[in-house]
Every structure is written in structure tokens, then in C-alpha cells.
Structure 1
Amino acid sequence: MTQSSDSFLLIIDYNLSRIDDVVAMRRYAYERYGIKTLLLRANPEPHDYAIADLVLALDPRSSDFVTTGLKALAPFLKQLRGGLVFSDNAVQSGAQLLEQLNLPVDDATLAGGAFSKILYRQIEAEYRSILEPQDMFIPAHTTIHNADELIEFVRRYPGGVVLKPACEGNNRGVVFLNANADLRQALQEVEPYFSDGIICEQVIPLQQEYSFDGLGHLCFTTEKCTASGRYPVETGQILPARLSQTQEHLLTRVGKLANLLVGQCHGPFHNEIKIDTDATQAAVVEPNRRPAGMKIWSLAERVYGLNFYHLWVDRALGQPLPKQLPAPQGIAATIMLGSAHDGYLDLAADEYEPERLFKKALDLYNKAGINHELEWFGFTLLPSLGNWVRAIPKDNGDFIAMVCVYSPNAELDILALKTAISDCWKQVIAPYLYQEKKQDVFSCLSK
């Protein structure tokens, strides 16, 4: 391979839903620093080659990823300026590779706790005597291999348990169970994840859920909107979270403890946390050493005036971060948009214009006479075209779209707005849902 004189920012893997973020970081790295982007990706597809200057086919889940990565990157060693790990699958192996390349990265060994939910609970249990005095609740947990083990664990915790994959993001495969649930059916639902392990946890008996987000020492708290019932799916995010000072102090303390346990120091983090209503106890649902999903960093850009993806590139290239975040201005939210009833989603070719669909919903919203100073942005049609869509989502893949909104009015009733625009969207999308799947549903995509 011929070596060029270009300098590169190395990006190790990404989740497909983050493709726009990769594009933005690539553009920023080139415009701000004059360097190109080298992407490592398992089984790269045409879109991967379109969003990076150079792409190498490497699987971060492969047991020899670090060895093969060092060999593949050997011609570029003098040209690598910095590296980012941008997927859950790569959080540990990617950090190991960057360590071997002598590029700045948070600790690779501890990163395992940010990938495996089982390992993280084991780490928590090991340090229980330190964590519990910090008002941290640590749920009981076990690894499940069969129905008998699940039945025994549910018997021990009749208040409810949560069954979930050990190494899966995006809220997929998470099921709430109690003693009256059909446990064998629940095991069938999570069967696709058995190869990486299934963890069963005592339900965290705390009411409100948030996420502790940020980069390096810069942190903020996001309020989660989560569905009740069997499938605790996230239906939205609100920033800044509406918190008392006591609640914010508790969330920050526990969020930083989670970062400590998984080795986060300089890089991104997204720790999901529950607290009780009187802010006397908090529990980590799961830690993540990556940027938050559901466009939370895009919300933060509106509220704080800082682009966290740009800051992440700056940090990877050795530049200091701001000393602190500015005071928040206004309020922003991500809203997941679903369906009023079950059905196959089929959009005719002449209607396959996502922004047009949302504009129809927005027209309905505006006709209701609700007048606010709002900026709608980040509308995304999720990859559900042709799929069976559920009125009650089991995971985030059951939503049809999502959209973000910002208002300079921090006192805006954001939950009422969320309900109103969701109802308008359901009216717009209803004509495109059918009880039988059409054979030509993908024809408009193949052109």
C-alpha cells in the first residue's frame, strides 16, 4: 500500500443511526484542522465510503481486532493525529487499539463495564461498600441461561425483574416481568441475544429516569420520557432536565461514580440513571462510554451553544475543552413518533418525502391554534418502511420517526407539546398503515 502525506482522524466504528454525526465530524476535522478521516468498519457498504476519506474493513467484535487493526494501520502510523471510538461494539476493543497506537483514549480495561451490562453489575457489587454510602442503589442481578433460572430469580424478587441482553443498546430486547408474566414467552423474545448473554435484574424501585451526559469534565442532565408497562421504551428526551438542586447533585454524584467504574475520564459518556422522588437514592440503569443517542448532543447545542461533536474532535486532537458549560438557554426535546394502530408501513413513491410528511403533522398542530416560538429540526424517518409497526412499541425500532424541537422559553410545557405533535403525526401516518404487507413496498427505494 502506498503511503500518502495526509493526516488522519481515526474513527472506530459507528452505529448506522449516527451516520450524520460521522459526516459532521469529518467535515469539521477537515475544515478546522485540515485532516482527513479514516474509518474502521465491519463489512463496509457504499455509504461508509461516502462518509469517510478512507475506509478499512475491520470488525471490532472480532477476537483479533487489535492485531489485525495494527497490521492494517501500519502504513498510516505517522499520519494518525487522533482517534475516536464511536460504537458500543468497539468501546473496549477500540480503546485497546488506540492504546496500542499510542493515541489518547480512556482506559481500555475498564471499558468492558461500559459494554457488558453483566460485567458492570459485577463491578458495582464488588465496590458495594463504597457506592452504597454515596446513596447508590445496586440491584440484584444474575445471568440467565434457561427458563428454570428465570423462574427462580422472579420468585426471589416478586416486585418485578428486568430481562435484557448483556451487550445491546437502543433499548432492544428489554422486557419487564413479574410473577404473573409468561416467562417462557419472555425468553423467546430475548432468544436472539443469548449468544452474548442475558442478564436479569431486580427492578430498580425508583421512579424518575434521567441521563448524565457529556464529554470529559463537561456534563449535563437529560430527562427521559419512558413508557410504562412491559416494554420500558424511551419516547423522548428533555434538556435541560427539570430538577431540584438536590436531585441534580445526586444525579451528578452517581453519574460521576459510574464514569469512574468504567474508566471514563476525557471522552464522551451517557449514563442512564434512576432516582427516587425525594432524591435520597439513585441507581445506574446502564453506563455508556459514547455520545448519547436520540440526538441529545444536538439538543445540547441549542441549549448550551456548543457543538459537542466538534469538541470531541478537538479533544481527540489534543485541544483543551472549555472550563465549563455556559448557562442553559431555553428548552429542547427529542420526540419519538409512532403509530395509533398496528400495521405495515407503506409509503408510495410520490410520498416518500420525510420532511413533507412531518410538515403535514406540523400544519395540523398549528391549526389547533397553539402558538409558540419553536424551532423544529432533526426530523428523521426511521428504517421501518415495509415493517410491521406496533402501536405499543417494544423497542425504539418500533417508532416510525423522531423529531427535535427547541424553544427559547424555558417555561414551555414541553410534555403537552410532545403529546400534541405525536397525536398530529399519528393522524398523518394512519393512511400509510395496512394490515397486509404489499409486495412492492420497497420499489421506491430501489430506483
Structure 2
Amino acid sequence: MTQNSNSFLLIIDYNLSRIEDVASMRKYAYERYGVKTLLLRANPAPHDYRIADVALALDPCKPDFVIAGLKALAPFRQQLRGGLVFSDNAVQSGAQLLEQLNLPVDNATLAAGAFSKILYRQIEAEHRSILEPQGMFIPAHTTIHNADELLDFVRRYPEGVVLKPACEGNNRGVLFLNTNADLQQALQEVEPYFSGGIICEQVIPLQQEYSFDGLGHLHFITEKCSASGRYPVETGQILPARLNQTQEHLLTRVGKLANVLVGQCNGPFHNEIKIDTDATQAAVVEPNRRPAGMKIWSLAERVYGLNFYHLWVDRVLGRPLPKQLPAPQGIAATIMLGCAHDGYLDLTAVKDEPERLFNRALKLYNKAEINQELEWFGFTLLPIQGNRVRAIPKDNGDFIAMVCVYSPNAELDILKLKTAISDCWQQIIAAYIYHTQPMMALAS
């Protein structure tokens, strides 16, 4: 460790689901470089002061964030060794602040395209003549303000449209609609997002979805599992993606083009991409200048033997990245865990024994399946809004839990495993789901 305890790594905002990742980066930065961590976050909670050496209350969504940030950081200005932006909300304002602090960061102006889905589609359309010859499909889009505008767009694209917030992650507020849909109900569902803008897009007529993930010049491709129907929620991730060479080349080319459009060069990225079955065309669902969610970087650590959060700290503190990734070993997946029926979850009972519940599901799985060499990790009970649970999730926040699994056997039927463990979990969690509100929940 290089002793430099008066220096700081600046972390600008993070989503609450990433608290363990922030804690891990803080620990690594101190043990590897002797650098403390300074966290900027709107309304820091007690846990924020536990995962950082210094936490300052600054909201990256406020228009004066950069000015306020420069003022708040003035006492630390000479001690800042590097900085990173760890949330969608801060992707542009955080980059602007780092630029003003003369700390290395990817371009702040272009970062706007990684925050606003509307702006990104506009950028694509402006460069259509360059992008389409590279195999990119660019969906038609419009900004929606009322039911008449939505009806007009749906009529123009009767095969289907996607309605979604302009600046929101985690699949929240995303709806698939066609001419038979109740458009007024759809507008009511996305009403909470109107202040940030609502975009309506032509459905991308491509079948398979992946993400182009990585950091700097290091990249890998993750295969997405998504629900069909009105709510295209992601139900799992598989790494490495099962691809032929043609598919891999197309996804890599389009993933890199998306990075160029949003200014990514040295930092993290998570670009969601669909391709057709013959791999002649691809479309960017959305670009992101942040690490992938659903523990994809944790899957990558098992498959490639590299901790990408540590590499990110290395990068911003001036250490070069490896020249390339090693060959993947085995296969890993994230599996979202839900329930079979709508109802109300007994949160008190579940929170008291989440790991034991999953271990019971594992016992059911091991009874039903041939015992295989599997490493289960990263089991997480997800924050549920209230205690209402749905058999058909509307977004990723409607799942009860998620878990990761790794096998050294790259030929493992991972989809069969995903279905089996999901079924076992649903059998176990069913005992904690009621048709009406549990009395304890009503009392509280």
C-alpha cells in the first residue's frame, strides 16, 4: 500500500442497490493506495457515513450541483486523487464537476445522451447516414405529452410501441402497447415520470437482447433474459453470452458506436442491444455510462477472474488497465426471484430469515435435480414498495429477491437451472404470501 492517507477518492452518487459495491471500492482504495473515500449524495443516510470516510449532502439533479460541489469540495481540493460517477442521475452533472476539478473523466457534454433516452434517440437520428450502414436499426420515436399524441403514434406503428420515462433505469415505467391497449391507463401508469419526459418508440423488431459491458477498452457481452408481454422486465443475465462469431462482431461494433455517441472512452459502460436472428442488424435499446446492474460485474469476476470495481478504482487513480480480458472460464447467471400469485408478503417473517428461505429452495432443487458443481452467491432480498407482490412484475422492483450462480462447466444448461431454482423459490415463498394484508402490516 502506498501511504497517502490525506488523499481522497471522490465518488459521486450511487443507487442504493450498489451500497456493497461502494463499500468494496472504499476498502480497496484504502488498502491498495492508502486513499480515503469522499462521497457526494443527496440527503446522506447513516449508512452513507459508514461506507465513506466523508459524506457531503449534494444533489446531482439540482441545477446548481456543480457550483455547490466546487464550494463544498474547496477544503479537499488539493487532496482529491481521482473521481468516479456511479449513478445515472449524476452521469452528466458529475462529469461536469470532475472536469471543473481537473480530474480525469469521460466527456461531460456527450454524457447527456447516456442520461436522457430522448436525447440519445435524437443523436442517433442525426447520425443516421453513418450508423445505418454499420448495421444499426434506429427506431422512430416521439415525446409524449397527452393521450392524443400517444394514440397518433400507436396508429402509425400498429405492430407495437414502447412507452417509457426519458430518464429512469431499472425498467421502471416501461410499457409495451399496441392498438388494442388502454392508452389512458398506460398514461396513468407513467404519470409519475412526466416531469422528466416520456418517450414513445417504435418497437424494435429484433428478437435477441444482450448488453455490451465493460470498462475502458475491456469489454464482454452479457445475454439478457426478459419477460414477454406488456412489461418487458429482465428476469436474468447470463455471462458469457452464448454467441456465434457473427453475432459477437455485430454486438461489439454497435456497442462501441453507442459508446462513441455518449462520449464513453475510459470509464464504465452498459449498453443494452437487440439483434436479429441472422445477426445482420442491431439496435441500441439504451446506452449507460455506469456499471451494469443485476450484479453483472460480479458475474464477470467469476468468469474472468477480475474485479471490475477494483479495476475502476485503479483506472481513476492512474493505474493502467490490463491489455485484454483473459479467456472466460465457466458460466454464470443472475436470476430474479418472484412469486407465483399476486398477494401480500409477510415482510417481517421474510426479513428475519432471507438466507434460510433460499437455502430451503436449494434443498428442493437438489432433490429434484442431479447434483452439479454450482457456486451460489450474491443472494439479495430486494427492497419492496409496501408489501404488495405480483406474479407478473411490472419492473425489477417487483421481484422479491435475486441470486447469482456460477459453474465451471460452460456447457451447463443455464436456462433449465434458472427455471428450476425459480420454481423452487416460488414454492418456498408461497407460505409467506397472503391474499389480504397480514394483520401485522395493517397494524404498522
TM-score by length of 1: 0.97
- Runs of 4+ aligned residues of structure 1 deviating over 2 Å after TM superposition are 347-351, 438-443
Structure 1 pair 442/371, CA: closer, same or farther in 2 (3 Å)? Answer: farther
Q: How does 1:16-35 map to 2 (within 5 A)?
A: 16-35=16-35
For residues 333-374 of structure 1, what are the alpha-carbon distances to aligned partners after superposition, in whole Å with 9 as ceiling and x for unaligned?
000000000011104458612111100000100011422100
The one-letter code sitting in structure 1 at the alignment partner of 2:270 is: H
Residue in 1 that maps onto 2:421 = 421
Corresponding residue of 1:303 = 303
Instruction: From the superposition, tell whether residues 399 and 61 of structure 1 become closer, same or farther in structure 2 (CA, over 3 Å).
Output: same
Q: 1:9 & 1:438 partners in 2: Cα distance?
A: 46
1:71 corresponds to which letter in structure 2? K
Q: 1:350 to 1:420 in 2, by over 3 A?
A: closer
Looking at structure 1, the residues matched to 308 and 363 of structure 2 have their Cα atoms a distance apart, in angstroms, of 32
Structure 2 counterpart of 1:341, one-letter code: H
Question: Does the 8 Å contact 2:170/2:396 carry over to 1?
Answer: yes
How many pairs align? Answer: 441
Match of 1:371 in 2: 371
Q: Which amino acid aligns with 2:163?
A: L
Aligned-pair distance for 1:320?
Answer: 0.1
Equivalence for 1:277: 277
Q: Distance in 2 between matches of 1:385 and 1:367?
A: 33
- 2:216 is the alignment partner of 1:220: no
Given that residues 346 and 385 in structure 1 are in contact (C-alpha distance below 8 angstroms), is that contact kept between their aligned partners in structure 2? Answer: no
3-state SS in 1 of match to 2:438: coil
* Rounded Cα–Cα distance in structure 2 between residues aligned with 1:111 and 1:350: 40
Match in the other structure for 2:252: 252
Q: Which residue of 2 aligns with 1:195?
A: 195
Asked whether the equivalents of residues 225 and 234 of structure 2 are also in contact (C-alpha less than 8 Å), the reply is yes
Distance 1:100 1:372 in 2: 53
Q: For 1:121, give the aligned amino acid.
A: R
Question: Matches of residues 86-235 of structure 1 in structure 2 within 5 Å?
Answer: 86-235=86-235
Task: Give the C-alpha shift of residue 441 in structure 1.
Answer: 3.7
1:440 CA displacement: 2.8
Inter-CA distance 385–149: structure 2 relative to 1 (3 Å threshold):
closer
Q: 1:149 to 1:18 in 2, by over 3 A?
A: same
Unaligned runs of 5+ residues in structure 2 are none
**Displacement of 1:435:** 1.8
Give the drift of 1:386: 4.5
Please give the secondary structure, in 1, of the residue aligned with 2:411. Answer: coil
* Partner residue in 2 for 1:355: 355
Q: Deviations over 1:221-268 (max 9, x none)?
A: 000000000000000000000000000000000000000000000000
CA distance in 2: counterparts of 1:349 and 1:205, whole angstroms: 44
- Residue number in structure 2 paired with 1:9: 9
Opposite residue 299 of structure 2, the aligned amino acid is L
- Between the aligned partners of 2:100 and 2:162, the Cα distance in structure 1 is 37
Q: Is the 8 A contact 2:161 2:177 kept in 1?
A: yes
Residue 393 and residue 37 in structure 1: after superposition, are their counterparts in 2 closer, same or farther (change >3 A)?
A: same
Over aligned residue pairs, what C-alpha RMSD do you find? Answer: 1.4
Stretch moving more, 284-293 or 44-53: 44-53
- CA 1:345–1:414 in structure 2 vs 1: closer, same or farther (change >3 Å)? same
How many Å separate the matches in 1 of 2:329 and 2:442? 43
Amino acid of the structure 2 residue aligned with 1:265: C
Counterpart for residue 85 of structure 2: 85
Cα distance in structure 1, aligned partners of 2:354 and 2:98? 38
